[in-house]
Amino acid sequence: MSELTFTLLRLGYLVLLWVFVLSAVAVLRRDLALRSPRSRKRADDGGAPVAAPAPAASSPAPARSSGPHKLVVTAGPLTGTTLPLSTSSILIGRAPSCTLVLDDDYSSSRHARIFPQGDQWYVEDLGSTNGTFIGDQQVTSPIPLAPGVGVQIGRSVVELQG
Amino acid sequence: MTSPSSTVEPRQRRPLRIAEVFLLILALGGGIGGFAMVGLSIRGELPDQFWFRSMLLAATALVAHIVLRLRAPWADQVILPAVVLLNGIGLSMIWRLEISDATGMAPADAAGNMQATLLGAIVAFALLWVLKDHRWLRRYTYTAMVVGLVLIALPLIPGLGQEINGARIWISVGGFSLQPAEFAKIAFAVFFAGYLVTNRDTLALAGPKIFGLQLPRLRDLGPILLIWAASLAVLILQRDLGTSLLFFGLFVAMLYQATARSSWIVLGLTLFAAGALAAARLFPHVGARIDVWLHPFDAEYYDREVGGSYQLVQGQFSMANGGLFGTGWGEGRPFQIPYAFSDFIYAALGEELGLTGLAAVVLTYLLIVQRGLKSALSVRDGFGKLLAGGLAFAMALQVFVVIGGITRIIPLTGLTLPFMAQGGSSLLANWIVIALLLRISDSARRPSDLPVRGQVSAGAPAPESEPILVGPSGADGGTPADGTPAAGSNLPRRRVVDRDPHGAPGDAAPTEHIGTDVPPEHRGGESR
């Protein structure tokens, strides 16, 4: 084996080691990117971790064709988070068992509930400390919620969208 | 209205682990390439059994990859390739020293180490297959403590223990010699994790405060003092500085992880400094290590027959000869370092791969440690956090102690470089550590059924989702009570909401209902 071949092999081997290290670092970087909030939002839009809307025939369900399809957080720490609507109610608060878990110090652990009935969605306050508001008005009892109307929960605002 | 079929997709797709395949190919290229270059350089041809040995290594990696895909699909994808690379480089170097025909290199045994690697990988991936959840180990917290103490006591039993080069850390069973301390490391990590996850609050919060340091109560310290005494006993009775340092470091680091009290670090370092100082005064072999560390080039220490600096200085010359890019596989003279195949394999690699190669090797260790600590951060149970953190820290400390000793940052102590140095116990134990880290990282990265704070719940909604009836005439299901706009019409924005709740029997009940129906698995989860 000639001197030149050997030198090339020797340096090539070191290059190989560093290609390994740098590729591994690239894998780690991709890992970090997957966990950033921006891509988390994308993952939620893709709907992979959430149940797709599946109205059962027997239960009263909002009309899929006209009614809202998703709940969107439009203000607060979780701005941009969306959640597809199904026939079941959505519990909003800080408790881990809520459907939408807010990372918001001004919301109660079980703050409010948004639920379907007939063709309408309703919002109900669950005895929260800081209250649930639609515009300036506090929600004291279940009231219908139309798409595009913001509901203030702590520092967050959620609304239904079509 | 049509009723679409249910398309619930509660779980993310299982990862295909493509990145791992790609990195494994590079890692195998590193290991097998080194092996081939040794043969080409020293003998001018590929080593005998080159294809067989290479395929064996590749098959091991492939089987490990398949086991991971089947049993731990979310496990970290960098750990396995990093280990395969280090192991391959280590085997190549041991074989390179074996065929150098230097007299001191007679015990170098690449084939034996290859068998140990295979055994280690088989045991590790069998463990990964069987152990579906790392929390299962928590049941054996105190068993692990007893096993650990028995393991470190074994070499002291006359007839079983063997004394080699002044340190009594080996046992010989049926012709094989084992270093039980390597396995005790794992047992102690399991014990500390299980013990501290239960007792960390009393350790962190109860107790007197002295000089701004929160000290723990004495009675909470019982088992911990026992382990501290054991690690000192290793130092005194078995005269093994490295193992003692490793146990003690593991112990302080895990206490700090569990309690987040810096007083533990201060306390631990003080105790260790006191112990080390006393040991240096009392035991000549420890004192000699420190002299050799400080003055390796003095003729007095260099020429000393036992405990001299000859080995250390040869290692330094080797690394100096390697320079920035190394001499290349098979071109240096690393066989002049005593124990180049085990204790000083790092210096041997320094000669043939140079600083560039050594930096890549150290970074590869760093990758493994970082992945371990990352798993510790993201896993959801306290036991897993402590275990992964402890094992990753132990590996980092072991690498630091070995490399620090060889490069004269700290006094030389007898520990093995994980996955590289020759030694079956070390390989087997470290492969088991890797299996545990992979298991914990799988659990850390597996998509959760529980909603994480700030995230949308995965899976089907909880059973609380039954719609409540609004208004007194709820049976018709479509028309809300008087005082609200007609159902189906858009609510005008900023409309005053003043529905009178009188006579609505369904109003109070749902709230109460919601308060009680937390699914049981959501309760009592460990929050940290």
CB distance from B488 to chain A under 8 Å?
Answer: yes
Is 80 exceeded by the pLDDT of residue B385? yes
Q: How confident is the model at residue B165 (pLDDT cuts 50, 70, 90)?
A: low
- List CB contacts (< 8 A) between A120 and chain B: 480, 487-488
Can you give the pLDDT at residue B67?
A: 93
Residue of chain B whose alpha carbon sits nearest to that of A40: B455
CB interface of B with A, residues 495-514, below 8 Å: 495-499, 501, 504, 507, 510-511, 514
Can you give the pLDDT at residue B489?
A: 41
Is 70 exceeded by the pLDDT of residue B370? yes
Q: How confident is the model at residue B65 (pLDDT cuts 50, 70, 90)?
A: very high
Residue of chain A whose alpha carbon sits nearest to that of B447: A49
Is 60 exceeded by the pLDDT of residue A51? no
Range with the poorest average pLDDT among B95-99, B185-189, B456-460: B456-460
Which among B5, B460, B488 has CB closest to A120? B488
The letter for the amino acid at B290 is I
Mean pLDDT of chain B: 79
* DSSP-assigned letters across all residues of B381-438: SHHHHHHHHHHHHHHHHHHHHHHHHHTTSS-----PPTTTSS-HHHHHHHHHHHHHHH
CB distance from A92 to chain B under 8 Å?
Answer: no
Residue-wise pLDDT for B254-299, tens only, equals 988 888 878 778 878 888 888 888 878 887 777 888 888 888 888 8
CB interface of B with A, residues 314-373, below 8 Å: 325-329, 331, 353-354, 356-357, 360-361, 363-364, 367, 370-371
Binary contact (A21, B364; C-beta < 8 A): yes
In A26-136, beta strands by DSSP E: 70-75, 82-84, 90-93, 100-101, 112-117, 120-125, 132-134
Can you give the pLDDT at residue B85?
A: 95
Is 60 exceeded by the pLDDT of residue B506? no
The residues facing B141 across adjacent strands are none
Q: How confident is the model at residue A33 (pLDDT cuts 50, 70, 90)?
A: low
3-class state of residue A128 by DSSP? coil
Q: How confident is the model at residue B208 (pLDDT cuts 50, 70, 90)?
A: low
According to the per-residue pLDDT averaged within each range, which of A107-121, B208-222, B390-404, B497-511 is highest?
B390-404
Binary contact (A13, B85; C-beta < 8 A): no
Can you give the pLDDT at residue B134?
A: 87
Can you give the pLDDT at residue B79?
A: 94
**Are B522 and A96 a contacting pair, CB within 8 Å?**
yes
Residue the block writes with tokens 């719940």: B457
Is 50 exceeded by the pLDDT of residue A41? no
Binary contact (A13, B497; C-beta < 8 A): no
Report d(CA B35, CA B110) in Å as an integer.
11
Q: How confident is the model at residue B190 (pLDDT cuts 50, 70, 90)?
A: very high
Can you give the pLDDT at residue B235?
A: 67
Residue of chain B whose alpha carbon sits nearest to that of A88: B465
Q: How confident is the model at residue B47 (pLDDT cuts 50, 70, 90)?
A: confident
Neighbours of B214 (CB within 10 A): 17
According to the per-residue pLDDT averaged within each range, which of A48-62, B150-164, B315-329 is highest?
B315-329
Q: How confident is the model at residue B391 (pLDDT cuts 50, 70, 90)?
A: very high
Is 70 exceeded by the pLDDT of residue B503? no
Binary contact (B514, A78; C-beta < 8 A): no
CB interface of A with B, residues 29-88, below 8 Å: 30, 40, 44, 47-52, 54-57, 59-61, 63-65, 77-78, 81, 83, 86-88
Is 70 exceeded by the pLDDT of residue B351? yes
Binary contact (A63, B1; C-beta < 8 A): yes
Is 90 exceeded by the pLDDT of residue B120? yes
Is 80 exceeded by the pLDDT of residue B125? yes
Range with the poorest average pLDDT among B131-140, B166-175, B241-250, B414-423: B166-175
**CA–CA min distance A25, chain B (Å):** 8
**CA–CA min distance A89, chain B (Å):** 5
Binary contact (A21, B367; C-beta < 8 A): yes
Binary contact (B3, A55; C-beta < 8 A): yes
CB distance from B375 to chain A under 8 Å?
Answer: no
Binary contact (B85, A20; C-beta < 8 A): yes
CB distance from A126 to chain B under 8 Å?
Answer: yes
Is 80 exceeded by the pLDDT of residue B528? no
**CA–CA min distance A130, chain B (Å):** 17
Report d(CA B145, CA B464) in Å as an integer.
45
Which among A28, A100, A149 has CB closest to B78? A28
- Does B519 or B76 have the greater pLDDT score? B76
Question: Which of A70, A97, A123, A137 should we substitute to test contact with B (largest number of B Cβ atoms within 10 Å)?
Answer: A97
How many residues would you count in chain B? 528
- List CB contacts (< 8 A) between B455 and chain A: 40, 81, 101
Binary contact (B459, A40; C-beta < 8 A): no
CB contacts < 8 A (A, B) = 255
**Are A145 and A53 a contacting pair, CB within 8 Å?**
no
Residue the block writes with tokens 């760093």: B366
CB interface of A with B, residues 129-148, below 8 Å: 134-148
Binary contact (A27, B484; C-beta < 8 A): no
Instruction: Show the CA angle centred on residue B413, arms to residues B407 and B418, nearest 5°.
Output: 80
- Does B326 or A37 have the greater pLDDT score? B326
- Does B24 or B169 have the greater pLDDT score? B24
Q: What is the mean pLDDT of residues B42-64?
A: 89
* DSSP-assigned letters across all residues of A39-54: HHHHHHHHTTTBPPP-
- List CB contacts (< 8 A) between B489 and chain A: 146
**CA–CA min distance A19, chain B (Å):** 8
The letter for the amino acid at B477 is G
According to the per-residue pLDDT averaged within each range, which of A104-108, B291-295, B383-387 is highest?
B383-387
Exposure of B290 in the CB half-sphere (CA atoms within 13 A): 12
